[in-house]
Amino acid sequence: MSATPQKNRATRRVIAAAAGLATVGALVAAMPAGAQDRGHGHGHGHGHKPRTVDVQLLSFNDLHGNLEPPAGSAGNVSETQPDGTVKAIPAGGVEYLATSLRTARKGNPYSVTAAGGDMVGASPLLSGLFHDEPTIEALNGLDLDVTAVGNHEFDEGAAELARLQNGGCHPVEGCYEKGKKFKGADFPYLAANVTKEKTGKPLLKPYTVWKKKGVKIGFIGVTLEGTPDIVTANGVKGLKFHDEVETINKYARELDRKGVKSIVALIHEGGAPASTSYNYDCDSPGAGDGISGPIVDIAKGITPKVDALVTGHTHQAYVCTVPDPSGKPRMVTSASSFGKLYTDTTLTYDRRTKDIVRTSVKSANHVVTRDQAKATDMTRLIDRWNKLAAPIAGKPQGWISADINGRGSTAPEKPLGNVIADAQLEGLAPADKGGAEVAFMNPGGIRADLVHKASGSEGDGVVTYGEAFTVQPFTNMMNVVDLTGAQLVTALQQQVSGSNEASPKILQVSKGLTYTLDLTKSGADRVVADTIKLNGEAIDPARTYRVAMNEFLAGGGDGFAALGEGTNKLVGASDLDLFNAYLAAHSTAAAPLAPPATDRITVIQ
């Protein structure tokens, strides 16, 4: 791990903090009343330090290389108004995130910024085209202190993750700017629960300790244990992923033995609040009552030595208290995605016990609004990389008549999902291209909406290469395989059963495939088997069908083991190439592509 930039920055920070810390009195004035009271009788006003000090923890998660404000509905956050109505607020973009964080830090001499993983991966073209070097550079500029790895940090494998950490130009594409070598992240990436199969040793640092004037806070970072199920096999080759709770508890004991009593866990796994509004109170009616999902059991299992959990992965917004194993409430937070929110948590540090006073932990999510001043250094960074990307990014691929929603759609069947699946079927239906009869697209692979409003100077309704790439940034190779009708039915049932039962993953299907999804039932029964038809004919369990899907699904990803059983595989073009070919074939300036009907899956709620 490169320690030098870290050291220099720590020095810079301490100098800056010393300048901000004019007097102890100013610090006390900034503290909540309770914190000041606890200091009484411990030398206030006699040149002694107060017993407690408030540490500001700023956090965010799932940035996914969204340096520019995310377009369309994917760039909004929901806010519940006092009258109960819900308002959509445009948010995000690192120019605004930088301003928000810098404004929040003012007057807080003890401020640390941490992230919950998926900083890169599945990124828009501006970052993805350059293997996410622009995002690492932006995070350095944002003064990020530490992040956990997320599953998307493994998209390009362990060697590429090590390069993002340590620097050096890309092994294939080299350096992107003449005379400039990529420096790498000047913050540590933590991967406590990821070890190398051969040696059993951690892939990256398991934890780091943030220090400031005698205050010490340990950060342990983990990704979800199920990472291999949601990343291509090449991305996790030679790696082992371990239980989140056992790993965090192990390293919390180690930190405790080293005298670090204040500990924050950064966990790339999350939950689902009962409301999508960022300002929803998920401690209503009782602590943690308004949240469900994997993070709840994880939080309940993590040792009380850990004082707060910063989470991610589900792209949801929540600030909850979930009881720890001793029954005490403990803060669990997540700040949506794409830099649209940040969380501001106050950790009251007791200098005598070296621990966080848990009863006074306060936290709230804040919107990264677009009506504040842009950070000029981030504008310069975006402009610089945009110039390099422009020759590729601005090429028109097709035309649309209105927004075609993908990521921003909450419906099981998404208009953009239908377009993508149809593009895959059309491109792979010819006999010499695989003879596909049906195509499946995983919903998580649709990363954005196709937005009618121009993103640059191309004009409204024009879909540029950059916009198409933002929708499908993985450039997965397409596969066409043989599956029996019985395997097809099983695959559709796996959308709502097994590992997908609690949080269904509804495949986007090509035209001709229809069925009923009955959400009043449970498990596999939610897919009504006798309604599944292809071109009006019932699926024959014994017949073989040629099925198109990306390599991730063909490897059984996302819990679709049945799709991984395909035989007679033919590898086709990339998903992005097929998407762009479809746009070119089905739209002109005079006859743009309209959003398709969503009538393939009949949903009973």
Q: Does the pLDDT at position 390 exceed 50? A: yes
How confident is the model at residue 324, as a pLDDT? 97
Distance, CA of 269 to chain centre: 9
How confident is the model at residue 21, as a pLDDT? 33
How confident is the model at residue 583, as a pLDDT? 98
Q: Does the pLDDT at position 42 exceed 70? A: no
Q: For the chain, give the mean pLDDT.
A: 92
> What's the whole-number mean pLDDT along residues 14-29?
34
Distance in angstroms (rounded) separating the CA atoms of residues 562 and 483: 9
How confident is the model at residue 382, as a pLDDT? 98
Q: Beta strands of 296-340 (E only): which ranges?
A: 308-311, 317-323, 329-335
Report pLDDT digits (tens) over 265-310: 999 999 999 999 999 999 999 999 999 999 999 999 999 999 999 9
Distance in angstroms (rounded) separating the CA atoms of residues 43 and 400: 69
How confident is the model at residue 48, as a pLDDT? 74
pTM score, whole prediction = 0.90
Q: Does the pLDDT at position 43 exceed 60? A: no
Q: Which burial class, exposed, middle or buried, applies to 20 when counting CB atoms under 10 A from its CB (0-12, 13-18, 19+)?
A: middle
Q: Does the pLDDT at position 355 exceed 70? A: yes
How confident is the model at residue 47, as a pLDDT? 58
Report pLDDT digits (tens) over 498-541: 999 999 999 999 999 999 999 999 999 999 999 999 999 999 99
**DSSP 8-state secondary structure symbol assigned to residue 277:** B
Report pLDDT digits (tens) over 53-85: 999 999 999 999 999 999 999 999 999 999 999
Cβ contact 185:143 at 8 Å: no
